[in-house]
Amino acid sequence: MTEFHLDLQDTETAFAHLSDKELKEKYRLFSMLNSPFLSGVGTRMAKFALSMGLPVEGMIKRTIFEQFCGGETIEECDKVIEHLGKFGVGTILDYAVEGKSTEADFDETRDEIIRTIDRAKDDSNMPFAVFKVTGIAPFGTLERLSARKKLDAKSQAKAERIHSRIDEICSHAHSVGQPIFIDAEHTWLQDAIDRIATEMMEKFNRETPIVFNTIQLYRTDRLQYLRNARKEASKNGYWLGMKFVRGAYMEAERERATENGYASPIHVDKAATDEDYNEALEYALRHLGEMAFVNATHNEQSTQLLARRMNELGLPENHPRIFFSQLFGMGDNISYVLAKRGYNVSKYVPYGPVADAIPYLIRRAEENTSAAGHMSRQLEMITRELKRRKLA
């Protein structure tokens, strides 16, 4: 048997989808994002300009929005979907509207999510749809449900509407055979989401995995949650669908734990998170006959681990229940190298009106500067590809 090798430093493959001009533009933007000072100043200026009603949306759309979002509408994303598809990379359209609070807003977001399901259902370049429960539900009600507090009549009515919206989305996905992710949220909202996601899986995953829950493995309790969820699915006769991520709310989680005097739900260091994450991959491989899973990470070690273990187990690269995923505009060395080798890989492609997508984009900028070395590695690879093309 030949030795397994996956070259995630192959910049020629990683950036083959970019023209020289696009590569240079990516270099300029990532250079700014790689500087905590410049990124911080830019983020504060964007927040201030928007709060003052200054006309900065055009500038934002031509720079950071185009780098990390597919467009303002589903139709505007068509070019991105087609372009990714040419390189064997799928698209997961993510309606990136946050911070809404009225029932009418929540219903409108539900309808938009259903439109993304319909856009994806007959397109082989769109393996999944996705939604965030906080896009269709008030934070306060989710928090009360997660704390298992007694609800008054008003909160109970809101809870029933939350359940109804999620059921409508998952039911529609099931009716057209379109797998869908339910994204993870803060710990103080997640218990309610886990319970509803489990109910949706039990209802709609009888024949094939349609509904996927998401677990953030920087949480100390998630590996055991995965084991329990698998046993529950096995006992009740449905497929378990799971998307694995490391986690997106570390600072907020630790701050809230300190303020409220309880133990942090987050691992003390990255090594512990990595250990749980990689064990989750191993666990999923051991139980592949009962579940489907998504390795949604920019971490090269976890990517290498899963690809190598698939090879050792004799599993095909395009196994129908094993998927990889990264964010649009990031992790191209992982996505495009995996796609070239025939793995199931896709990009989360956020979209929505520029003004509504700003919270998502600011979070991307803030996360990127705090991610240990990730942006630096991305910038270093872009620089190497510029030199390879003799552009620097």
Q: Tell me, what's the pLDDT at 34?
A: 72
Walk along the chain (392 residues) in steps of 10 and give the mean pLDDT of each run. 87 97 91 62 58 68 85 97 98 89 95 98 97 96 97 97 98 98 97 98 98 98 98 98 94 94 96 98 98 97 98 98 96 97 97 82 58 73 96 88
List of residues 6+ apart from 106 with CB closer than 8 A: 100, 135, 136, 137, 138, 161, 165
Strands 322-327 and 240-245: unpaired
DSSP string, 60-106: HIIIIIHHH---SSTGGGHHHHHHHHHTT-EEEEEE------SHHHH
Question: What is the reported pLDDT for 338?
Answer: 98
Assign domain 69-358 one CATH number from 3.40.50.300, 3.40.50.150, 3.40.367.20, 3.20.20.220: 3.20.20.220
List alpha helices for 246-353, DSSP H.
250-260, 270-286, 300-312, 332-340
Q: State both tokens at 357.
A: 């997508």
Rounded distance between C-alpha atoms, residue 304 and residue 46, angstroms? 37
- In this structure, what token pair is assigned to residue 351? 């979209």
Tokens of 287: 């139980």
Cα–Cα dist 253/219, whole Å: 10
Query: Tell me, what's the pLDDT at 370?
Result: 47
| Per-residue pLDDT at 100 | 84
DSSP H/E element including 326:
strand 322-327
Which residues are within 8 A (CB) of 48 and not within 5 positions of it... i.e. 6 or more apart?
none
Token pair of 253 as six digits: 């989680």
